[in-house]
Amino acid sequence: MGNWFSSRARDVRDVAKQEITDALIKSKLIDIKAHKKQRDEVIAMRMAVGRDQLHFSLGFYATMCVANVFRVVRYRRFELLPINHIPFIAGPIIFLYNVDACYGNKMERLNIEKETICRTEQHWFNRPIVLPISMEHDYRSLMRETNERLALLGCPPEPDWAVFSDHISDEDLWRSASPLSRVLHQQLRRRESAIIAAPEEADGIAADLGDLDSVKTMANTAIVVELDHVAREPR
């Protein structure tokens, strides 16, 4: 009888432990999803701000081109606008940019551009994040529960926001790297290989550095003693 109760208690404890573990993993998955969404929105907002600044820059250069065209037409010769006239064109454009940012609807337009980037464009940051394969079961369970709740509310199912295998291999990533990065990485690999292949040389370098540190310590101690001796001498 006692064995039966102990066995049942052990089973209940194991089930409770598994449920607690699953709940913790799902909570961590929700945190990862929230952090990913926050990161995606921050990067997308930076892109939106950069695009907005680019548009105003295009407006500035277009104004410069129009001013130069009118200048050529007026003076009947090809002569560009002097440099000292540029502040009179750039100043109002910068002023209008700040007015639009402070009192206009620039923030709303930036938010729309940010949402457009996140929802309709494909970039490295808004792709599904790669998670460890050990979290796949809990992720599938969480997505199934979420989609069931959305179905009850009449909402469309949520798309997958995580994968468990990277679609880019190390070789493909290496081929996509810039030539300078490949050269520098090769130099680092050669240096690491040389250190691994010659541990005695590495130990010798470490010993030399240790001796150098000892010499520096002795020199600093001698300087401190000498300064203390000078300070104690009567004047």
Identify whether residues 211 and 105 lie together within a single domain.
Answer: no
Give the highest mean pLDDT range of 38-42, 58-62, 86-90, 168-172. Answer: 38-42
Confidence of residue 17 (pLDDT cuts 50, 70, 90): confident
Least confident of 4-8, 66-70, 203-207: 203-207
52 Cα distance to chain centroid: 21
Res 164: pLDDT: 87
Phi then psi dihedrals of residue 204, to 5 deg: -65, -40
Total-model pTM: 0.67
As a whole number, the mean pLDDT across the chain is 79
Q: How many domains does the chain have?
A: 4
Does residue 152 surpass a pLDDT of 80?
Answer: yes
End-to-end, the C-alpha distance of the chain in Å comes to 96
Does residue 222 surpass a pLDDT of 80?
Answer: no
Identify whether residues 19 and 98 lie together within a single domain.
Answer: yes
Confidence of residue 9 (pLDDT cuts 50, 70, 90): low
Identify whether residues 117 and 25 lie together within a single domain.
Answer: yes
Confidence of residue 209 (pLDDT cuts 50, 70, 90): very low
Identify whether residues 6 and 80 lie together within a single domain.
Answer: yes
Q: Where are the alpha helices (DSSP H) in the chain?
A: 2-75, 86-103, 106-120, 136-152, 170-176, 179-197, 199-232
The C-alpha atoms of residue 212 and residue 220 are separated, in whole angstroms, by: 12
Res 220: pLDDT: 56
Identify whether residues 155 and 189 lie together within a single domain.
Answer: no
What are 97-125's pLDDT values in tens digits? Answer: 899 999 989 999 999 999 999 999 999 89
Identify whether residues 62 and 149 lie together within a single domain.
Answer: no
Res 2: pLDDT: 55
Identify whether residues 106 and 66 lie together within a single domain.
Answer: yes
Domain that holds residue 140: 130-164
Q: How many residues does the chain have?
A: 235
Identify whether residues 190 and 216 lie together within a single domain.
Answer: no
Identify whether residues 40 and 107 lie together within a single domain.
Answer: yes
Identify whether residues 94 and 83 lie together within a single domain.
Answer: yes
Res 230: pLDDT: 45
Give the highest mean pLDDT range of 115-124, 185-194, 199-208. Answer: 115-124
Identify whether residues 106 and 134 lie together within a single domain.
Answer: no
- 207-218 burial, b at 16+ Cβ within 10 Å, e below that, comes to eeeeeeeeeeee
Identify whether residues 77 and 101 lie together within a single domain.
Answer: yes
